[in-house]
Amino acid sequence: MTVLLVYVDDILITGNNSAHIASLIAHMHSAFSMKELGLINYFLGVSVTSSSSGYFLSQSKYTAEILTKAGMADCKSAPSPMSVKSSSLSSATMAYSNPSLYRSIVGALQYLTITRPDISFAVNHACQTMHAPTEADFASVKHLLRYLKGTLHQGLSFTPGPLELHAFSDSDWAGSVHDRRSTTGYCVFLGPNLISWSAKKQPTVSRSSTEAEYRALAQAAAELSWLQMVLTDLHIAHPCPLLWCDNLSAISLSSNPVFHSRSKHIAVDYHYIRERVASKQIFVKHVASSDQLADLFTKALPVSRFHFLRDKLMVLSSPSGVF
């Protein structure tokens, strides 16, 4: 089994037979003008450091460039990426004087979420105002940049473990004060490693917390289904994934057709999750709200709660002397 990841003119090659990989590289050299860089250490702006315990992915150099671009290379740090307090009314309505800078910084921050799931919700929130940012919006971005200043060397660690998929799904019902749409958040683990996550506002208004949670369940189930197909294509055997949710009504709705008469306003396509549960391709189980890891992707959190969830998601600093 040999896998090639190709992005424009950058290629990663991996597989389970080093001799075959070497033969493939030699054949590619004969057909194309290529430069071989050896074992991976930097790819598309992501630093990859290997050790006996696994890999550590970070974008510290890229983060420093964003801070310099925003003129905040020497700013003070903040304990969390987003404040739970709302901005003053005057700053919330006053248009920001340099919207091009705002869009440039927020656009760069989107790429940073590749190794920084802890800023996903804050970046998603900032993206929603790119068309007409206000002074308050830019103040929120500066708060996020101050958080990045204090966590410059954080990233994702990957360690060996069982090849089992499990995910956490959550939503913040009517969390947006502007249009009362809910936010979907989920995170997917392969063994102990976080491999996929999302923080995204739902496209329509949910009329109940159950509906908002059910929509989030469907999104997480679709992501799990896609990852199952990837693992199958790689000939990796894996058990049925677990999907954790902290809303008992949404869990019941995913498997009990009796609820249908009270939920006809939910779009038909969201009953996808029910089919997956009925065919035993996904198991949906309850998790306490205090242990809901996807909470990090749905709302601004107090510092203590944010740090607890961030550490649970394995968003870690590179240990000195190890990586």
pLDDT tens digits, residue range 217-246?
999 999 999 999 999 998 888 999 999 999
Q: Which residue has the higher pLDDT, 319 or 121?
A: 121
User: How does residue 316 score in pLDDT terms, banded at 50, 70 and 90?
Assistant: low
pLDDT above 90 coverage of the chain, percent: 64
* Residue 264 reports pLDDT greater than 90: no
Query: If you average pLDDT over residues 96-120, what whole number do you get?
Result: 94
Q: DSSP letter for 306, please.
A: H
* Residue 90 reports pLDDT greater than 70: no
pLDDT tens digits, residue range 69-83?
999 999 999 999 998
Task: Indicate the range of 222-231, 239-248, 264-273, 309-318 predicted with least confidence.
Answer: 264-273
> Angle formed by the axes of helices 60-69 and 135-150, to 10°?
140
Enumerate the domain spans of the chain.
2-38, 60-154, 161-309
Which residues have CB under 8 Å from 250's CB, separation 6+?
Answer: 210, 213, 214, 216, 217
Spatial separation of the C-alpha atoms in residues 44 and 299, rounded to whole Å: 29
* Residue 209 reports pLDDT greater than 50: yes
* Residue 18 reports pLDDT greater than 80: yes
Q: Which residue has the higher pLDDT, 206 or 142?
A: 142
β-strands 242-245, 165-172: how paired? Answer: parallel
User: How does residue 255 score in pLDDT terms, banded at 50, 70 and 90?
Assistant: confident
Q: Is the dihedral of CA 129, 121, 116, 88 positive or negative?
A: positive
* Residue 322 reports pLDDT greater than 60: no
Cα of 187 vs its chain's centroid, Å:
6
User: How does residue 286 score in pLDDT terms, banded at 50, 70 and 90?
Assistant: very high
pLDDT score for 263: 64
* Residue 321 reports pLDDT greater than 80: no
| CATH of region 161-309 | 3.30.420.10
Spatial separation of the C-alpha atoms in residues 295 and 302, rounded to whole Å: 12
Structure token pair of residue 160: 């060996």
> What DSSP assignment string belongs to 188-216?
EEETTEEEEEEEEE-SS--SSHHHHHHHH
Which residues have CB under 8 Å from 110's CB, separation 6+?
Answer: 123, 127
